[in-house]
């Protein structure tokens, strides 16, 4: 982990070819930027092997990135902050690159989609998101709402493992334990937002995205109501995008990167980023 800019910590792979994309990766709730850089499952390493520059940020409230005002720690507030902050990332790491492809997971996917919908003033080429849908499971919002009025929420490892992973056999023997290196607390405000307000704004946000979109959702995602029909509805909502590649990923739980299908999934995202760079 390093200080990427004056306002964001994170990590970068120091790679990339002239004319290629700058991938900026946005993690989900209860994970740091280390989500994208675990040994053997590192998006940064996979990208470096393919000559692609990646910067994985820590979102507001994570590691050394700032906690925003309480009413700005929801999805819309973080997206507004990051729209400007990622402009600084582009200035620092975008030299010689054709533009930015955002990769977002889970809450980070909802935030990345909201940034894309806002038409940032830095060159956004495409959006690759996973672990986000249109509707979370009934009761999830109320469960988060019932917690004490504290800014940060910790999820016990054993509970988190059950939620983030698919059935036994869909991941390697060293998982889920290896994923714990990326675990941390999450702002309660974002957990309430993704299980509440997101339901009301998701279709509007998705409908305003005018760049190509790569969308993947896991077959065994325990956080979202999900099946092929839901994936199709999500794709239809992306009506302003010139290219939508939306699929259900068989044999995976919420954190696709950490499952056996993870390396193939990451290469698909990176291939999409390369395609966006030459469109």
Extract the tokens encoding 50. 């393919």
Cα separation, 63 vs 74, in Å, equals: 17
Written in H, E and C, the secondary structure of 46-97 is: HHHHCCCEEEEECCCCCCCCCCCCHHHCCHHHHHHHHHHHHHHHHHHHCCCC
Share of the chain above pLDDT 90, in %: 92
pLDDT in tens, 164-212: 999 999 999 999 999 999 999 999 999 999 999 999 999 999 999 999 9
pLDDT in tens, 42-79: 999 999 999 999 999 999 999 999 999 999 999 999 99
pTM of the model: 0.97
Nearest CA-CA partner of 269 in 3, 2, 28, 52: 52
């Amino acid at each position: 982990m390093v200080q990427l800019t004056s306002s964001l910590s994170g990590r970068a792979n120091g790679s990339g070819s002239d004319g290629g994309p700058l991938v900026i990766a946005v993690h989900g709730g209860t994970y740091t930027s280390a989500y994208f850089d675990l040994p053997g499952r590192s998006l940064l390493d996979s990208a470096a092997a393919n000559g692609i520059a990646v910067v994985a940020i820590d979102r507001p409230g994570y590691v050394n990135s700032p906690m925003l005002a309480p009413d700005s720690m929801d999805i819309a507030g973080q997206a507004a902050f990051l729209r400007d902050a990622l402009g600084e990332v582009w200035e620092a790491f975008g030299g010689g690159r054709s533009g930015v492809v955002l990769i977002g997971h889970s809450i980070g996917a909802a935030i990345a989609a909201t940034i894309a919908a806002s038409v940032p003033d830095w060159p956004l080429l495409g959006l690759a998101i996973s672990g986000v849908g249109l509707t979370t499971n009934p009761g999830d919002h109320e469960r988060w709402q019932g917690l004490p009025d504290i800014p940060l929420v910790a999820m016990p490892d054993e509970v988190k493992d059950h939620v983030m992973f698919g059935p036994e056999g869909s991941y390697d023997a060293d998982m889920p334990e290896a994923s714990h290196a990326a675990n941390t607390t999450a702002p309660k405000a974002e957990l309430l937002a993704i299980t509440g307000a997101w339901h009301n704004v998701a279709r509007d946000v998705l409908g305003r995205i005018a760049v190509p979109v790569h969308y993947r959702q896991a077959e065994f995602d325990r956080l979202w109501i999900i099946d092929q029909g839901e994936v199709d509805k999500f794709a239809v909502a992306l009506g302003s995008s010139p290219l939508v590649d939306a699929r259900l990923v068989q044999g995976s739980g919420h954190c696709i990167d950490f499952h056996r299908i993870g390396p193939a999934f990451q290469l698909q995202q990176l291939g999409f980023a390369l395609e966006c760079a030459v469109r």
